[in-house]
Structure 1
């Protein structure tokens, strides 16, 4: 049976009106593939003494320029707290660690329940777990941390989980140390003042806070044993063995054997495929516009390192085109 012309016109009008009502509340329209394209976005980084904050400011400028979006890089308590903020839609993009992202999606360790509205853009660079102390502390192994005042990272940070897992494979727990929950800057100040004996710092090397400490104090970085590294990697595959080269910091005259995870960018799933495609493309193709030294390690070849969870469809489309 044929439909009358007035019926078809009315039906078409309903479809058009429905499409017009799908805009988001932030003033942005929907992308062609659906989803939000806000005019303003927040990029959560980390503490001012780490790598996330200065690098995040430059990445925000590049991504904002590429997408004509105003992106504000904000300091934060880093990885775990950043993902909690994405869950509550307080931000759209965030730095985190691959291990913390995995924990968030599973709802373990720092997370009481799974976070279901996040996915990955891609990995950035290796994040080195550095156990920093002073040269005269007498601390030479992870086991030597027993009974010592040790900073294990700001509350909600991925550093805390790293510290807990490294202590575990070395036969210790948080109860065996005097755990202090300090930021990177507070940790290095505590070492300088003698208020703590050692600090776990998970960040790209060289780390600004550690560089500052090495300029005023003789420092040491604790090496992990081969056995501990192998046990850690076997139990938690998102870790990889990593060597801190001699000379990375003033007075560091020997290589340090430790482990690393990857820093990465996460996004909320409600961002449109087209927008995240453009963000991903800019991130890996415009690193020459980022003056931070870590830009040399942001590579398409390692963009999916350590990522065993969902990649945003926009980012995946970009990766598929590069194959």
Structure 2
């Protein structure tokens, strides 16, 4: 009896060992599978966390200016050439665009070269240097247009004294342009009744008689001014040569410019000044992504479905840029043979 009991105990012990061994083997297999899955997941994450995002936002400007339609055309090229869905969004333009990039609200943006330089230095509209925004490249001249009508009787910058004048949307580079141009003419914002309107509002205000003139910094012809021309005889104030020279000497990012006869129905060329439009980019985008975006823009500029596309050239891509290029843009321009400082 005792012998049978002993044998039963031994058999139960052996059976338990067998079950533990089988369970242990299953557990090891499960752990092995989990380990393989974890390894696969890590590898998948590495692949999905590659440099290229699925979507990027491109901040432009007001819908009545040049930035918005041009931005849409450039966004399409970026999307087509890189596979990254790029959405062009309307905005208050230069200064606000850079602040939005600083705050991580977008990846690409238009800016005037002068405003971007202010951002990096932390002056004018910027309380402190913006450290996460870099240059991608310059695009085309942005002409300073001081727009009024023939019937206003305003023929010079000095005639703006005491008038209701739009100086651009809050946060825009146009405001700073207006301030600096008034400065070289011995005036300040206190000498005018300054109105903070965007381009469309400015044109509408002139049309309705609510304002007398407007500073508009944009590529010519500008849509808002063309709309005004449909209902009024447009006149653009000239900036005389000595004042232009003084402005350029003090603020070197300006250049002399001319609005050609016939633009907006003008009967003669109008001498003025310009800054440059450029694209700025957050440093969060990788070198490879910005390289691809830069290449897409400058190698397909002939396909930009906007009149300003003709000015987007590799030869002028570095003009007016006074701060650091993104490493991806720098790499592309160096490979293209440009002298990148």
Q: With structure 2 as the length reference, what TM-score do the two structures score?
A: 0.85
2:246 to 222, 226, 231: 231
Secondary structure, in 3 states, of the residue corresponding to 2:273?
A: strand
Secondary structure, in 3 states, of the residue corresponding to 2:315?
A: helix
1:274 to 288, 291, 295: 288
| Alignment coverage as a number of residue pairs | 300
2:210 to 195, 201, 208: 195
Q: Aligned-pair RMSD on alpha carbons?
A: 1.9
Give the gaps of 5 or more residues in structure 1: 1-12, 32-36
**What is the match of residue 155 of structure 2?**
140
**What is the match of residue 285 of structure 1?**
299
Identify if the C-alpha distance between structure 1 residues 254 and 29 changes in structure 2 by more than 3 Å, giving closer, same or farther.
same
Q: Is 1:109 equivalent to 2:148 in the alignment?
A: no
**CA distance in structure 2 between the partners assigned to 1:253 and 1:182 by the alignment:** 27
List per-residue Cα deviations over 1:239-279 (Å, max 9, x = no partner).
000011100112x0111111000000000011110110010
List per-residue Cα deviations over 1:115-165 (Å, max 9, x = no partner).
000001100000000000010111111111110000000000000000000
1:22 Cα deviation after fit? 12
Q: Is 1:73 equivalent to 2:93 in the alignment?
A: no
Q: Is 1:88 equivalent to 2:121 in the alignment?
A: no
Give the gaps of 5 or more residues in structure 2: 1-34
Identify if the C-alpha distance between structure 1 residues 23 and 192 changes in structure 2 by more than 3 Å, giving closer, same or farther.
farther
2:175 to 154, 160, 173: 160
1:53 to 65, 68, 74: 68
Judge conservation of contact 1:240–1:260 (CA < 8 Å) in 2: yes
In terms of Rg, which structure is larger? 2
Q: Is 1:123 equivalent to 2:138 in the alignment?
A: yes
Q: Is 1:217 equivalent to 2:232 in the alignment?
A: yes
2:49 to 8, 29, 48: 29
1:28 Cα deviation after fit? 5.7
**CA distance in structure 2 between the partners assigned to 1:232 and 1:286 by the alignment:** 35
Identify if the C-alpha distance between structure 1 residues 218 and 117 changes in structure 2 by more than 3 Å, giving closer, same or farther.
same
**What is the match of residue 4 of structure 1?**
none
**Greater helix share, 1 or 2?**
2
Q: Which runs of 4+ in 1 moved over 6 A?
A: 21-24
Judge conservation of contact 1:22–1:30 (CA < 8 Å) in 2: no
List per-residue Cα deviations over 1:207-232 (Å, max 9, x = no partner).
00001111110010000111110111
Secondary structure, in 3 states, of the residue corresponding to 2:263?
A: coil
Identify if the C-alpha distance between structure 1 residues 179 and 22 changes in structure 2 by more than 3 Å, giving closer, same or farther.
farther
